[in-house]
Every structure is written in structure tokens, then in C-alpha cells.
Amino acid sequence: MHLYGHWRSLATYRVRVALKLKAIDAKIVAIDLLSKEHLGERYHAINPQGLLPALEIDDGTVLFQSMAIIEYLDEAFPDPPLLPIDLAGRAKVRGLAQIIAADAHPLMVPRVRDYLTENIGLDSYGVKKWIDRFALPAFEAIEIFLRTQEHSGKYCYFDTPGLADIFLASHVIGAGFFGCGLDPFPRIQKIYEACVGLEAFSSSHPLSQAGAPAHI
């Protein structure tokens, strides 16, 4: 099994966490986002979309998009589960994850930030305001869900880390790179602290990966 990714890629981070929670070994293949290696022919032969991550499983099949990869891992390696058993619970967890995956993260990725600076002319302050505009509403909605739902415990869904926690942690890290703090979101902060208390999360942090700088 080969995981194609980059240290800074938050989507790659999610898959690293899932692999470690399930104790699955995967060879990491670094694709350099900063030098645009993901846009070259070599990587496009693996994933024509040119985005990270991609997971090549043992029979040579290549999977893409972090949500789909993690759900594959959860079905192929069901212990420990990353989704609840009950249908409503699974839908709730997927819904929380999709706030990040579908609504917030796509508007914060490097290709969007590059477009804002190179084509729209935004400076670093303008990009920071853009990030705040889409990162903070996601936190606000999730904080309300976590405060008002009976299933909220040590983690997003009771006391076991799962899919929603993986996506929430990725958003905390990504927003943190742009100075978005968690003081207004105490429930999220408590869950994130529980997550990083686990080796699967802490060792998967972007700044803990080979090639990463000491800080951003």
C-alpha cells in the first residue's frame, strides 16, 4: 500500500491519521506541492485530477479523495471502526466531516490562495480575511452541533475517535496556520486536545513529517 502525499496537505494528514488508528502500514511517497510536482505527468498518471492524496492499494487500484479513501479503509479494515453502527449516527458523523470536506476546506487550499494572489491581487492580509470568512463559520456550526447533540462526548461522537474527529482536527490545524484560534470554540478545543493526545493524531501532524519546517 502506497500513500502519495505531502507534509502540508491536510487531506493527506487525514488519511495518515486513519491509517495509524487502524495500525495499517503504508509506504509514504512524497509528492512536492511547493514545486508543483503534483501537476506533472508522473503524478497525473497516478491521479489525473492532480490532487493529494492518492492511495494505491495492494492490487494496484488507486483511490483518491480523502473521504473516499478513509471510508474504504473503514470497510476493508473494520477494527477499530471510524463510523458508528447505527444509520443516523453514521449520517451525523458524515455530516460533521462534510462541513469541513465540502464547505470549508476547498476554499482554503493552495490553488485557491494562489489564484487570489496571482489573479485577483489579494495581499497576505486579504488572503487571511478570505480564510477567516470560510474557516470560522465552519467552526461556529460545528461548535453548536457539538454543544447541542447528545452524542457529543470526549470526541465528536461519544468517546471513540472517528471520521468526524479526523476532519475536525485537520481543519483546526489548517486554520491555525493562518492564525485562527479556538478560544471562541471551547467544545472543539476540548475535542482537539483529546485527539492530539493520541499518537495517531500527534505523529501525523504536518509539522511532524519528513521535509516539514520547524514552524510555519
The CATH code of the domain at 87-202 is: 1.20.1050.10
Range with lowest mean pLDDT among 106-115, 163-172, 191-200: 106-115
Residue 194: DSSP 8-state: H
d(CA 126, CA 116): 9
Determine the pLDDT at residue 151: 82
d(CA 65, CA 85): 23
Domain 2-80, classified CATH 3.40.1260.20, yes or no: no
List, for residues 63-97, the tens digit of each pLDDT value.
Answer: 999 999 999 999 999 999 999 999 999 999 999 99
d(CA 189, CA 187): 5
Question: Span 189-205, mean pLDDT?
Answer: 98
**What percentage of the chain exceeds 70 in pLDDT?**
100
Residue with cell 500527534: 202
Per domain, the residue ranges of the chain are 2-80, 87-202
Residue 150: pLDDT band (50, 70, 90) is confident
Question: Span 110-123, mean pLDDT?
Answer: 96
Residue 205: pLDDT band (50, 70, 90) is very high
Same fold, 2-80 and 87-202: no
Flag whether pLDDT at 28 surpasses 90: yes
Q: Could you count the other beta carbons within 10 Å of the beta carbon of residue 50? A: 16
